[in-house]
Amino acid sequence: MAGAGVLWDLHRLCRVLLFLSQFYILSGGGSFSVEPSQPLAQSDKDPGPTRTFTVVPRAAESTDIPPYMMKCPSNGLCSRLPADCIECKTNFSCVYGKPVTFDCTVKPSVTCVDQDFKSRKSFVLNMTCRFCWQLPETDYECSSSTSCMAVSCPRQRYTANCTVRDHVHCLGNRTFPKMLYCNWTGGYKWSTALALSITLGGFGADRFYLGQWREGLGKLFSFGGLGIWTLLDVLLIGVGYVGPADGSLYI
């Protein structure tokens, strides 16, 4: 029994000593350093001074197509080129309505030919001396308006923005304002309105067709104004004095 007790005390003493040694190491009292036995690999050494290379990009060649090229035909007649494709030395002191010639050159990237199909960069343009707003109505296009009364007395006008056609040459601005008469239509037919006024005018059918429902109800409940209103509407629609309620023209 005594021998077993001694062994137990030794076992406890060993456990205490092991605990103290671990505590001593963890608290920093002891450390182990391992010296490398071999030199470091070449990749871990100081690489030394490095060279810096600056890559200068080459100037990108411009491939943008000018906007006016969409209107310029390739190898077409120089005299038929649109005004956006050429530059001319104009003279505003010419006599109105008289023929005049101007020296013109084509813009960059534009190619044209003369009457002999020879490539040209400069040419002489023949035209009539007049400003763009003095051109005939067939030589320009104007914006339309549906907010004015086409059937009114006096007839209404509106301010339209007009643009000269591409192949027409003139002096001054190619876009200009102009006062035009209201000439839009809503799809109402004059023949249909007149036929309804003659046949069913006593019931207000003509007024209903033209979108004038108040007058149509008045004619309906008054039996066409005892026939007088019906006869008047036949006359007024026949001469075009009474038109659609939206102010548009007949078709």
- Those residues whose C-beta lies under 8 Å from the C-beta of residue 140, and which sit 6 or more positions away, are 132, 162, 163, 164, 165, 168
**146-184 residue pLDDT tens:** 777 766 667 788 899 999 998 899 999 999 999 988 877
Assess whether 88 and 124 both reside in one domain: yes
| Pairing relationship of beta strands 76-77 and 86-88 according to DSSP bridges | unpaired
Per-residue DSSP letter, 146: S
Residues spanned by the domain of 230: 190-239
| pLDDT at residue 209 in the model | 92
Number of Cβ atoms within 10 Å of the Cβ of 243: 24
pLDDT (tens place) for every residue of the chain, 251 residues total: 555 566 667 667 767 777 666 666 666 555 444 444 444 444 445 555 555 545 445 544 455 777 777 888 778 888 888 888 899 888 888 889 899 999 999 988 888 888 888 888 899 999 899 999 999 989 999 998 877 776 666 778 889 999 999 889 999 999 999 998 887 777 888 899 999 999 998 999 999 999 899 988 999 999 888 889 999 999 999 988 888 888 787 87
* Residue 154, domain member (yes or no): yes
The reply to whether 77 and 111 lie within a common domain is yes
Residue 223 lies in a domain: yes
The gap from C-alpha 66 to its chain's centroid, in whole angstroms, comes to 17
Residue 199 lies in a domain: yes
The per-residue pLDDT for 117 is 86
Its pTM stands at 0.51
Q: Indicate whether 124 and 76 sit together in one domain.
A: yes
pLDDT of residue 92: 82
**79 with 121, same domain?**
yes
Q: Are 193 and 206 in contact (CB under 8 A)?
A: yes
pLDDT, position 23: 63
The gap from C-alpha 134 to its chain's centroid, in whole angstroms, comes to 30
Using an 8 Å Cβ cutoff, are 127 and 100 in contact?
A: yes
> What is the predicted pLDDT for the residue at 245?
85
Q: How many domains are there within the chain? A: 3
Concatenated DSSP letters of 54-95 = ---PPPPPP-PPPGGGGG--TTEEGGGS-GGGEEE---TTSP
